[in-house]
Amino acid sequence: MNSFSAAQRSRVTMLDVAERAGVSKASVSRFIGDDRALLSEAIALRIEQAISELGYRPNQMARGLKRGRTRLIGMLVADIRNPYSIAVMHGVETACRAHGYSLVVCNTDRDDQQERLHLAALRSYNIEGLILNTLGHHLEELQALHQEMPMVLVDRKVEHLDSDLVGLDNGAAVNSAVEHLEQQGYRDLMLISEPLDGTSSRLERIEHFNLEIAGHDSLSGRIGHTGESLQHQLQDFLAAPGTGPKALFCANGIAALACVQALRELGCELFDDIGLIALDDLEWFPLVGSGITALAQPTQQIGAHAFDCLFKRLRGDKGAARVLDFPAQLIVRGSTQRTTLA
């Protein structure tokens, strides 16, 4: 077996392989492409031997561009630091790899200008499809891109973009959280969300929370948001007279972290002074106090099904846009196990 350096391999051309094998350049192209079956066994064997002897490595990107297939999938995320984004991305990438695709990830960092730049960059990479987890403020660009390739939305709806949507069943998750808190004896609840910026999943969770509170005469509820005033909001909630024992419902992992930090700064005994349940289940949840009760999102499933929807579209599925909502799993820990609360 011959050994070649990367530099040597990069200098070998398809014409070199053709000359060594004594065949046409077109035959070599067929061999490394999708038309190998058109070649006789003898010619295929000569080309294979020439490739091995010369250490030839075909330029897969150039071949893909020529054929209109790069086997690249784009993914646009709003915040790559969000544990949810990372977990879903892992599910997408694993599914891509299993089907011979590579994933190109762009992080908008919640910046509209970055979103526009990344959309242009992804188009220049000749991606075959796009998975979108962002606000979609550039609707015209997205609609134009959707004419060229299939798209799948993850977690967040984009109005007037007729694409498949894969995410969490937010209504069922909120109902499960409120029912669990009520069963545990909590009566005064506060949902903490990241600030409303048009993100559909945040709006849905707040809407369902308000509906649940309105449907339970024994419960009272209010809405709070992360940010500089969070500690003051929590202080007011703790001090205000209520209908009974108090609990927080954190709408995602980021809100949970902000609340735990703020409660510690207020000197709260976690979780004696106040209960807490969080949507998401992060690695550190079991490590705080007696553990944080969680509604775990099936992020691996969400990512894998997002790619599966895209893959079906790539294979010609022209059916109506579908919505796949997955249930959350309730994991009970000490943060909702009342001990000293009356």
d(CA 138, CA 156): 14
Same fold, 6-58 and 170-297+329-336: no
Average pLDDT over all residues of the chain? 90
C-beta separation of 163 from 322 below 8 A: no
Domain 68-167+300-323, CATH homologous superfamily name and number: Response regulator (3.40.50.2300)
Q: What's the confidence (pLDDT) of residue 7?
A: 44
Q: Which CATH number fits domain 170-297+329-336: 1.10.150.120, 3.90.45.10, 3.40.630.30, 3.40.50.2300?
A: 3.40.50.2300
- Strand residue runs (E) in the chain: 72-77, 102-107, 129-133, 151-154, 164-168, 188-193, 220-225, 246-250, 275-279, 293-296, 323-326, 329-331
pLDDT the model gives residue 61: 53
Which residue has 């000197």 as its token pair? 267
Q: Look at residue 34 in the predicted model and tell me its pLDDT.
A: 59
3-state SS, residue 156: coil
Q: What is the pLDDT of residue 32?
A: 74
Q: DSSP E strands: which ranges in 28-99?
A: 72-77
Q: By mean pLDDT, which of 49-58, 74-83, 258-267, 277-286 is the weakest?
A: 49-58
Domain boundaries, the chain: 6-58, 68-167+300-323, 170-297+329-336
Pick 69 or 173 by higher pLDDT: 173
**CATH number for domain 6-58, candidates 3.50.50.60, 3.40.1580.10, 1.10.260.40, 2.60.40.420:** 1.10.260.40
pLDDT in tens, 144-154: 999 999 999 99
Of 235, 153, 224, 238, nearest to 194 by C-alpha is: 224
pTM over 0.75: yes
Do the strands 220-225 and 246-250 form a parallel or antiparallel pair, or are they unpaired? unpaired
Q: How confident is the model at residue 33 (pLDDT cuts 50, 70, 90)?
A: low
